[in-house]
């Protein structure tokens, strides 16, 4: 039997047919365990088909501190994920509602926030501000990137300031905290959303989050929120019916 056909759920330990798991948005059909998604997978299942237009695709970190083996780790992460950095940003629609969006990729050095990640998040917020659009960010990160030292920590202030300008302008910011979201990302833009999501019922009970949303319901929940906050909507183009054939 070819390799890769079956996947084992880390919670219930059952073997799952991989295609069935993918059809179920990588949620275990046996125990509802949510397997981690890449940034690309996250946007593919959330945004309308072919609506995503990427920002700053080539922006990537360098090695500003000369940290040993850091360039090799960057190259390895880029080859593994086929992405330049640990965050993917751009513009798209959800059921027609326009939004600037970003998704961190835990498979890229643990989704850590270095200079490039902070810059891309800040630029996404600035574009949302300039275009008067909502901002939506999916966070999945272990925190600040240690190989960039204090330059990484500076991104907390930069991203928080960019989100603050959105708040001052009365523009909505939706923050979806995925598994895991910790460290500097939690301490900056992840916990600044007007509406927050996370798979953490304890945080919901204590009032730190607004709701916990299953992955299969995330797209419709985001669509309702974008409608509620007044996001502009692209009306699908009406296709004229073909003329009846002449006898």
- The Cβ-side half-sphere exposure at 88, using a 13 Å CA radius, reads 23
Question: Is the predicted pLDDT of residue 246 greater than 90, yes or no?
Answer: no
Query: Could you tell me the pLDDT band of residue 239, with boundaries at 50, 70 and 90?
Result: very low
Give alpha helix (H) positions in 15-100.
Answer: 18-23, 39-46, 70-81
- What is d(CA 62, CA 73) in angstroms, rounded to the nearest whole number? 11
Question: What is the percent of the chain with per-residue pLDDT over 70, rounded to a whole number?
Answer: 91
- What is d(CA 148, CA 157) in angstroms, rounded to the nearest whole number? 15
Q: Is 71 helix (H, G, I), strand (E, B) or coil?
A: helix
Quick: pLDDT tens for 64-105.
Answer: 999 999 999 999 999 999 999 999 999 999 999 999 999 999
Would you say 187 and 139 are in contact if contact means Cβ atoms under 8 Å apart?
A: no
Res 236: pLDDT: 62
Phi/psi of residue 217, nearest 5 degrees:
-105, 0
Question: Is the predicted pLDDT of residue 243 greater than 70, yes or no?
Answer: no
Quick: pLDDT tens for 23-58.
Answer: 999 999 999 999 999 999 999 999 999 999 999 999
Question: Is the predicted pLDDT of residue 151 greater than 90, yes or no?
Answer: yes
Question: Is the predicted pLDDT of residue 199 greater than 60, yes or no?
Answer: no
Instruction: Name which of 59, 51, 14 is nearest 35 in CA terms.
Output: 14
Q: What is the pTM of this model?
A: 0.87
Tokens of 217: 């319901």
Would you say 93 and 134 are in contact if contact means Cβ atoms under 8 Å apart?
A: no
| CA angle at 15 for the pair 20 and 176, rounded to the nearest 5° | 60
């Amino acid at each position: 039997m070819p390799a890769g056909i079956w996947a084992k759920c880390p919670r219930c330990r059952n073997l799952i047919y991989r295609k069935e798991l993918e059809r179920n948005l990588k949620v275990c059909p046996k125990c509802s365990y949510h397997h981690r998604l890449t940034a690309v997978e996250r946007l593919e299942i959330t945004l309308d088909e072919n609506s995503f237009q990427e920002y700053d695709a080539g922006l990537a970190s360098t090695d500003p501190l000369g940290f040993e083996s850091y360039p090799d780790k960057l190259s390895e992460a880029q080859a593994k994920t086929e992405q330049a950095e640990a965050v993917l940003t751009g513009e798209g629609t959800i059921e027609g509602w326009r939004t600037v969006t970003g998704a961190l990729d835990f498979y890229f050095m643990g989704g850590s926030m270095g200079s490039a990640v902070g810059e891309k998040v800040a630029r996404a917020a600035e574009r949302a501000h300039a275009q008067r659009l909502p901002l939506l960010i999916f966070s999945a990160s272990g925190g600040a990137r240690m190989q960039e030292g204090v330059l990484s920590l500076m991104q907390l202030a930069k991203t928080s300031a960019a989100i603050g300008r959105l708040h001052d302008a009365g523009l909505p910011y939706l923050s979806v905290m995925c598994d895991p979201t910790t460290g500097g990302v939690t301490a900056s833009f992840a916990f600044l959303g007007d509406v927050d999501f996370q798979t953490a019922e304890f945080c919901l009970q204590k009032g730190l989050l607004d709701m916990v949303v299953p992955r299969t319901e995330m797209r419709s929940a985001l669509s309702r929120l974008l409608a509620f906050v007044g996001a502009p909507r692209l009306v699908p183009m009406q296709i004229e019916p073909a003329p009846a054939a002449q006898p």
